[in-house]
Amino acid sequence: MASIAILIDTPQGARLLAAYSAREAALKAESVIATIARSDLPVAVSVECANSDMADRLMNYLADVQMERVLAEAA
């Protein structure tokens, strides 16, 4: 059973991702975020796992990934 769940609210609908590690979760979420048009960013992201510190780190990381895309494509 996966230990991390990430819900990403894309313009096409919600995407639910499951992963066994923070690295796997981050890679899967980045892949989904990469498909979202810059004009639709940022999107809502929710992370659920047993470790609240890990959930916070993933949330912050995915917020940074979105912001980097917004800023990089705006330049």
Q: Mind listing the pLDDT tens digit for each residue in 43-69?
A: 999 999 999 999 999 999 999 999 999
Q: What share of the chain in percent tops pLDDT 70?
A: 95
Residue 30 · residue 69 · CB < 8 Å? no
Q: State the pTM of this model.
A: 0.91
Of 74 and 61, the one with more pLDDT: 61
Going by C-alpha positions, the residue among 63, 10, 61 that lies closest to residue 35 is 10
- In the chain, what are the domain boundaries? 4-74
